Structure 1
């Protein structure tokens, strides 16, 4: 049917099958690497993927079943202004604690992204804190690295908190909805096989994080929310102390996007949730 948007076929970048990964773990170094060391050994391959439109079906998805869900929440702050980011983090931490009926939520990190082309430098006047979109299927953090982050952040309280049921939950929100360029796709955890997931190291100046790259598997089920508004917040489960539910995700180029459509801007919070 002309104009049917129930399924969009678009390219998602997956980890390239290569014998290299029989010998080396995928890695990426965020800062300038030592002489003679490549910045990354991650090779990706684009695969045309059927991505199901969740518009009109948001209520069918649940964080603790699918690994993601969409919830309605107003955008009350201009987070492109540094002074308002902390207020936004505090508000969303309170919202998440109430929404998940959790005992404690710690918002420990955030990232603002402004879309730009693959090799396009950061535009003049844009803060170095502002990152570009990620084109590649991945999961942000492993359970083992999540434990390390909790120990680092919570210090003396960490041992007690780690005895509880805990989760790492990301809160992703477009800042200039409706999203018409580079929407975010999420993979239903029920169809993400353990063999599809490959541990990778992200080396930052101050710490190292284990994340996951994703192999393509035709049995995976991918979803997005067409024309996602700034009031439609996406929750994604990255790690859980008692289940293997987790959300692989990636930006993708929507074939419907026009050249003059606004470039996507977004904010993502990373939260420790304790029950």
Structure 2
């Protein structure tokens, strides 16, 4: 019998404000002390959802059908330093993506981050460009990168090959898994792409130290079907899409969020996890490890 669990997620509220203003957020670490210096115009609403455990459900074996899947990845239950991540874990993720993702030629890992639900930052400020800073889980329904940011990253990182890359299939993939122990709280949930509409996504400008990117935040729709791996273990990798340029693919992107569980045991451990973001090109292109990320 399928397991369902009550939880809540924050969604971007539908509001007339966005008829005249594009959603934005400034994550620069600066203090904006006056009303004229807003650091965002995002309006949230928290919604209750039921998340379903999709473990062992063969319907979710193919990432192109629903936008997400899971695979076993052994040997990296703990990752205690950046050197181990850069030299060993990233290589394992590339092997996993090359094996499990269709049309995987060049795999360009452009970012990885560790998240820890026990961290605390003064006044909520964090330098997103510093990978040694662990992040908190994100309870906001979102897609990490909008297409305009995919194009920008390819143009900056592969200036000589950008036109060739744009002429073939490009995918943006996230590989997420827990560290140290199974997830007791703030599990990562993904929404079946077939249960959402493109109109539920709002492109949002995100201003960070030295950079401006675009992502999607999502509106709530009661038809959305959310899934997770109940008590996901460090050996279970959740793989999902941010983008796919293939025009006839069934699922090209997935909204996701860390859920606030309604029933958390008093002795629940804080969540610690690692996520790796990669661009997957159908062709093979040479690049240096020092390429602009």
**Once the 2 structures are TM-superposed, how far is the Cα of residue 129 of structure 1 from its aligned partner?**
1.8
Q: What is the TM-score of this pair, normalised by structure 1?
A: 0.90
Cα gap change, 1:43 to 1:61, in 2 (>3 Å): farther
Residue 116 of structure 1: how far off its partner (Å): 3.5
* Alignment correspondent of 1:269: 276
SS of the residue 1:90 aligns to: helix
Comparing 70-79 and 40-49, the one that deviates more = 70-79
| Conserved 8 A contact 2:77-2:234 | no
How many angstroms apart in 2 are the aligned matches of 1:58 and 1:178?
A: 22
CA contact (8 A) 2:25 2:206 kept: yes
In the alignment, does 2:24 pair up with 1:20? no
Q: Which residue of 2 aligns with 1:225?
A: 229
SS at match of 1:64: helix
RMSD: 2.2
Please show how residues 34-53 of structure 1 align to structure 2 within 5 Å.
Answer: 36-53=36-53
CA contact (8 A) 1:14 1:47 kept: yes
Counterpart CA distance in 2 for 1:236 and 1:33 is: 35
Unaligned runs of 5+ in 1: none
- Distance, in Å, in 2 between the alignment partners of 1:258 and 1:120 is 28
Are 1:160 and 2:161 matched, yes or no?
no
2:8 is the alignment partner of 1:7: no
Q: 2:266 aligns with which of 256, 259, 271?
A: 259
Give 2:26's aligned residue. Answer: 29
> Paired residue for 2:127?
none
Distance 1:156 1:79, change over 3 A: farther
What residue ranges of structure 2 are gaps of 5+ in the alignment? 125-130, 283-293
Change in Cα spacing, 1:116 to 1:25, as seen in structure 2 (3 Å) is farther
Residue 51 of structure 2 aligns to a residue in which SS? strand
Greater alpha carbon shift after TM alignment, 156-165 vs 263-272: 156-165
